[in-house]
């Protein structure tokens, strides 16, 4: 990991740069796939599945038989862990329900807001080197609580044309309505346009590699909403001498093993801790099964020393981390003043892994600095707020003249007439 001491403020943007390609680097490839899927449907899907996933499939829709087989292949121990996590995620997201908000803004003018579920949602679940069945919990559980009628899931098949049994078990447990063996750009395109078998959805959720991230962003050009531009995973830890160096190193590596394009950063007011963490990262990394991936990510990562908490916090808010771990004596200063972070983990015994799996919070979070303007997935992500109003005779008398004056000032005579006619009738 690259060590940086007391960086000048004018170097922060360069130091904090993510190791990702730009949309421009990838957009051409994505648009080509989109055009073909829109024009050819399943034929194009199958062609790209063969090209990228190295398998030819007779059917991309998962059958009941495949789900039943998957249930038998998942250990009871893992099933119990998934059920525990599901329970905590349900509890946290169900608590986010809000009642109807009603206000009589003036006598005779009643306004209220109610929430309605998005009817059709698509979930993208990465497979590949790490089958993220935990992401199904994070997406399908709140989708069900919200009341989404159709929950479509796409995940890439392996070279045998199968999806990891834990993905199928979890999807079935969480009420996913249809599961497809489709990955990458072609999956996002399929859910964007619809094919002979894949339903078109209104909003797409889920993380993925840089190609999936760009595909989701381009899907918005074709009338489909997305949760956020969620790309390669990232973590920033702020720590001082009160932190446990082995814990900090384990957290950094837990994100580094996600993918070679992941990034982890330690910001510290202690040079001694930085040295200790660096040693721990090396020793812990050596025994990881995903050592090669973690080492590549670590090469993109930084150990940054700053003089004080104020400067540390300013740098962290500039970065806007997806995951933010706070292991310092003055933790309240960071908790109270952090402005840009997807999810915050506090204290030596709160690993980021807890949020990834079973504490109850959602792990689908904004990356690449988007924590400055996006929230992580929550119950409202699967809902729309609709406003209603009802105006009585008294109400239109009270606000009618103001509407007439404002409409006339904007030169919109028909708007004024809509009120004038009603007032004259009274």
What residues does each domain of the chain span?
Answer: 2-16+232-360, 23-226, 392-425
Question: Residue 330: its pLDDT value, please?
Answer: 96
At 111, is the pLDDT very low, low, confident or very high (cuts 50, 70, 90)? very high
pLDDT at residue 232 in the model? 79
Q: Cite the annotated binding site for Zn(2+) by residue number.
A: 255, 258, 356, 415
Closest CA to 89 of 374, 385, 364, 371: 364
What residues act catalytically?
A: 322-323
CA distance 44 to 71: 31
Residues annotated within a binding site for NAD(+): 124, 186, 209
pLDDT (0 to 100) of residue 22: 64
Class of domain 392-425: mainly alpha
For CA atoms 322, 327, 332, 333, give the dihedral sign.
negative
Per-residue pLDDT averaged across 130-148, rounded? Answer: 95
Write down the pTM of the prediction: 0.93
Mean pLDDT of 320-329: 97
Mean of all residue pLDDT scores within the chain: 95
The per-residue pLDDT for 164 is: 95
Query: With the CA atoms of 183, 189, 191 and 194 taken in that order, what torsion angle do they form, in degrees rounded to the nearest 10?
Result: -120
The binding site for substrate consists of 233, 255, 258, 323, 356, 410, 415
- Residues 28-43 have pLDDT tens digits of 999 999 999 999 999 9
**Mean pLDDT, to the nearest integer, of 302-306?**
97
Region 121-142: what's the mean pLDDT? 92
Please determine whether the domains at 2-16+232-360 and 23-226 fall in the same fold group of CATH. Answer: yes
User: What homologous superfamily is domain 23-226 in, according to CATH?
Assistant: Nitrogenase molybdenum iron protein domain (3.40.50.1980)
Residue 324 clears pLDDT 70, i.e. is over it: yes
Please give the class, per CATH, of domain 2-16+232-360.
alpha beta
């Amino acid at each position: 990991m690259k060590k940086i001491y007391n960086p000048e403020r004018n170097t922060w943007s360069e130091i904090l740069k993510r190791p990702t390609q730009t949309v421009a680097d990838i957009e051409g490839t994505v648009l080509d796939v989109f055009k073909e899927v829109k024009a050819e449907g399943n034929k194009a899907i199958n062609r790209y599945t063969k090209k990228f996933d190295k398998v030819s499939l007779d059917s991309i829709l998962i059958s009941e038989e495949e789900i039943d087989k998957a249930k038998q292949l998942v250990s009871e121990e893992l099933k119990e862990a998934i059920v525990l996590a599901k329970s905590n995620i349900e509890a946290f997201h169900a608590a986010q329900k809000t009642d109807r908000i009603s206000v009589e803004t003036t006598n005779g003018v009643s306004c209220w807001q109610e929430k309605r579920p998005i009817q059709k949602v698509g979930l993208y679940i990465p497979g590949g080197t790490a089958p993220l069945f935990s992401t199904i919990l994070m997406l399908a559980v709140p989708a069900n609580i919200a009341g989404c009628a159709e929950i479509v899931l796409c995940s890439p098949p392996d070279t045998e044309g199968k999806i990891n049994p834990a993905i199928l078990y979890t999807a079935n447990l969480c009420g996913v309505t249809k599961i497809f063996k489709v990955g990458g750009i072609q999956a996002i395109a399929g859910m964007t346009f619809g094919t002979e078998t894949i339903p078109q959805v209104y909003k797409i959720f889920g993380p993925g590699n840089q190609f999936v991230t760009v595909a989701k962003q381009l899907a918005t050009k074709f009338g489909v909403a997305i949760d956020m531009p969620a790309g390669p995973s990232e973590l920033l830890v702020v720590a001082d001498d009160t932190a446990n160096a082995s814990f900090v190193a384990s957290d950094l590596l837990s994100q580094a093993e996600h993918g070679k394009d992941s990034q982890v950063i330690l910001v510290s007011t202690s040079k001694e801790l930085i040295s200790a963490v660096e040693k721990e990262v090396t020793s812990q990394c050596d025994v990881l099964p995903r050592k090669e991936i973690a080492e590549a990510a670590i090469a993109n990562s930084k150990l940054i020393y700053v003089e004080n908490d104020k400067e540390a916090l300013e740098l962290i808010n500039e970065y806007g981390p997806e995951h933010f771990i706070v292991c310092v004596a003055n933790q309240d200063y960071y908790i109270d003043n952090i402005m840009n972070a997807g999810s915050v983990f506090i204290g030596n015994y709160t690993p980021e892994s807890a949020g990834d799996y079973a504490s109850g919070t959602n792990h689908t979070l904004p990356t690449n600095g988007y924590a400055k303007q996006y929230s992580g997935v929550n119950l409202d992500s699967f809902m729309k707020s609709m406003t209603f109003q009802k105006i009585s005779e008294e109400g239109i008398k009270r606000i009618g003249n103001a509407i007439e004056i404002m409409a006339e000032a904007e030169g919109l005579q028909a708007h004024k007439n809509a009120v004038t006619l009603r007032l004259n009738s009274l």
